[in-house]
Amino acid sequence: MGAARRQIEGEQAELIRIDGVAKSFGDKLALRNVSFSVPAGQICGLLGPNGAGKTTLFRLLMGILKATAGKLLIDDLDTFVNRVQVMRLIGFLPDEPVFFPICLAGKSSN
């Protein structure tokens, strides 16, 4: 059962859960051991200087990138494994457009 449903039923539910997340790009460590949660119904902001990892964290939350370590959940959905379902729940406008490949299996190019 998702966090939104539990919130309706009166339970205090985490809509976003980030647990021990790390992301590296080769030798460059962008995020190290990031953990926090956001309860359903709460408004949350993410502040930090340039290069702090804010955009990387949002790209991980939207399933655009895969974490090197840790777990990211939105409404109990793994944000990378279930990225299509997560994107249906979240409005996100990236600073650079991201296009996903379209599967054309079984279609001819004629």
Span 56-106, pLDDT tens digits: 999 999 999 999 999 999 999 999 999 999 988 888 777 777 666 665 555
Q: Select from 3.40.50.1390, 3.40.50.300, 3.30.70.260, 3.40.50.2300 the CATH code of 3-89.
A: 3.40.50.300
Helix (H, G, I), strand (E, B) or coil at 21: strand
pTM for this prediction: 0.75
Distance CA 89, CA 15 (A): 11
Q: What is the separation of C-alpha 32 from the centre of its chain, rounded to a whole number of angstroms?
A: 16
Tens-digit pLDDT profile for residues 16-69: 999 999 999 999 999 999 999 999 989 989 999 999 999 999 999 999 999 999
